[in-house]
Amino acid sequence: MSGSPQLEDVSCPLGCPRDNEIVITGRDLLHDLPGEFTVVKCRACGLMRTTPRPTPETIGFYYPDDYGPYLGTQVWQVEHTSRIRALLKPLVKRVFNFNTQRLPPLAPGRMLEVGCASGAFLHRMASQGWQVQGIEFSEKAAQAAAQLGYRVHAGPLETAPPPDEPFDLIVGWMVLEHLHDPIGGLQKLREWAKPGAWLVLSVPNSASLEFRLFKNKLYALHLPNHLYHFTPETLGRVLQVGGWTLKKVHHQRVLSNLIASTGYVLRDKGYARLGQKFIEFPGRAGIWNYALYPLAWIFSVFGQTGRMTVWARVSE
Ligand SMILES: [Zn+2]
């Protein structure tokens, strides 16, 4: 694909009167692709959105094949690390809870993962007795997940057909902020859920200190791929309109976003090599996430880390 992707201007999806405040103007810092984008805040409800934004037909331009999340969950990586980690895992899990993919205590049932990338999480849940299915926008990643033997719809949530049977649990890790129509998506998932089913999502937290501190150098801003920028309050509202009730917000106990944001600042100040090291930190943090855990834990208590994992339930 060449040239500039087509842009569309969008109103607040909660149907508020058009009254916006410009919050941030920024660019694609991850792949340095062209275009300048603005994040606005709806003065009526507080929900922040990217507008204008690439259309659903052209946003693929901003998801090159080396897009991080597609690579990070390839199976060989899972197989490669599992033997070493398997021995230590139960102990480590008791001490460190990063809240990144925290789930309510549930007996295995039917699970759908929206944005399953190459299938690592599907694989993990299947090994714990869950019947799993996935939806994945990237055809290449979807193929990798399907090769593991799981049913995966390759394409956006919008075109996914309804399941044969409803789900007990639906998860979406860092995916809601990428959807053009999050409310339509949530309503669709609501229809596919059993009574009392859980929806577990992780998203960046735009109410965090990082957001205010780094502005357009914020790693989690991720323009123009992130179309919505939620806070616990605005996410609660969007979930409600989508047919879900927000039950719990877990602030993640990880500082890798903060370090990557610092990398963007360093790069901007002319420290290109050091900056790059910081920017690549989230993918390589490894042991550092454990070393930084106490500090991250303090940040999380005050709701100030860059990401949150939320539990919601089908509204009665
Ligand atoms: Zn609004």
Q: Give distance in angstroms: CA of 230 to centre of ligand 1.
A: 12
Give residue 209's pLDDT.
87
* Total domains in the fold of the chain: 1
Mean pLDDT of 98-126: 94
Helices (H), 13-74: 68-72
Supply the CATH number for residue 271's domain. Answer: 3.40.50.150
Residue 2 domain-assigned (yes or no): no
Confidence of residue 66 (pLDDT cuts 50, 70, 90): confident
Asked, for residue 1, whether it belongs to a domain, the answer is: no
At 130-150, the pLDDT tens digits run 999 999 988 989 999 999 999
Grouping H, G, I as helix, E, B as strand and the rest as coil, residue 169 is strand
Distance 45 CA to ligand 1 centre (A): 4
Distance 139 CA to ligand 1 centre (A): 33
* Range(s) of the domain holding residue 22: 7-314
Asked whether the predicted pLDDT for residue 91 surpasses 70, the reply is: yes
On whether residue 234 sits in a domain, the answer given is yes
**What does DSSP say about strands 48-50 and 151-154: parallel, antiparallel, or unpaired?**
unpaired
Predicted structure pTM score = 0.89
* Cα of 189 from ligand 1 centre, angstroms: 22
Is residue 114 one of the residues assigned to a domain?
Answer: yes
For the chain, the C-alpha Rg in angstroms (whole number) is 19
Between the CA of 121 and the centroid of ligand 1 the distance, in Å, is: 33
pLDDT at residue 278, rounded to an integer: 81
pLDDT of residue 47: 98
Whether residue 233 lies inside any domain: the answer is yes
Rounded distance from Cα 218 to ligand 1 centre (Å): 23
Average pLDDT of span 285-302: 83
Q: How far is the CA of 41 from the centre of ligand 1 (A)?
A: 8
Q: Hey, what amino acid is at 34?
A: P
Does some domain include residue 149? yes
Q: How far is the CA of 229 from the centre of ligand 1 (A)?
A: 12
With respect to residue 210, please indicate whether it lies within any of the assigned structural domains: yes
Which tens digits make up the pLDDT trace of 211-241?
Answer: 888 888 888 889 999 999 999 999 999 999 9
**Residue 158 above 70 pLDDT?**
yes
Helix (H) / strand (E) containing 250: strand 244-251
pLDDT in tens, 79-89: 455 666 677 77
* Ligand 1 centroid from CA 226, angstroms: 17
Per-residue pLDDT, 291: 80
As a whole number of angstroms, the longest Cα–Cα distance in the chain is: 56
d(C-alpha 303, C-alpha 230), whole Å: 13
Q: Can you tell me the distance from the alpha carbon of 117 to that of 49, in angstroms, rounded to the nearest whole number?
A: 24
C-alpha to C-alpha distance for 294 and 229, rounded to whole angstroms: 27
How many angstroms separate the alpha carbon of residue 44 from the centre of ligand 1?
5
Residue 224 inside a domain? The answer is yes
103 within 8 A of 124, measured Cβ to Cβ:
no
Q: Are 169 and 89 in contact (CB under 8 A)?
A: no
Q: Among all chains, which residue has been given the structure tokens 């003065």? A: 43
pLDDT at 80: 54
Ligand 1 centroid to Cα of residue 70, in Å, is: 32
Give me ligand 1 centre to Cα 62, in Å. 26
